[in-house]
Amino acid sequence: MSRMGLWLPGERAVRNGRIGRRLAGLAERSGLAVDRVVPVTAVFRDVREADQVLGLARVARRAVEAGYLRERAEGRWTEHLATQPFFASVTLFVVVVDRPRG
């Protein structure tokens, strides 16, 4: 996915894709006390499973429709994903907060 990410601006592929990095600060600025930040990483070795969760084919199709990627390149990329060893990961951040009393 990282190579495909070069052509498609992140906000179009994943809504609020950078929010995890900002979430603890946003919580603190909202008056919440951040207890901890827990990173949770999902690892995918099966391209079909990754596609169900990450929408790889859907994102590639949208990139073609938006003019970021040629159809031929989309076909080569999806063929490569289906026939070569596959690895993808995504990290989510769980921010545990408390509301101060008072």
Can you give the residue ranges of every domain in the chain?
2-98
pLDDT, position 83: 94
pLDDT, position 1: 46
Output the CA torsion 52→55→60→65 (10° steps). 120
Query: How do the pLDDT tens digits run along the chain, 102 residues long?
Result: 445 554 455 545 566 777 878 899 999 999 999 999 999 999 999 999 999 998 899 888 988 998 888 999 999 999 999 999 999 998 888 999 999 887
pLDDT, position 68: 84
| 67 in Cβ contact with 26 (< 8 Å) | no
Indicate yes or no: pTM above 0.75.
Answer: no
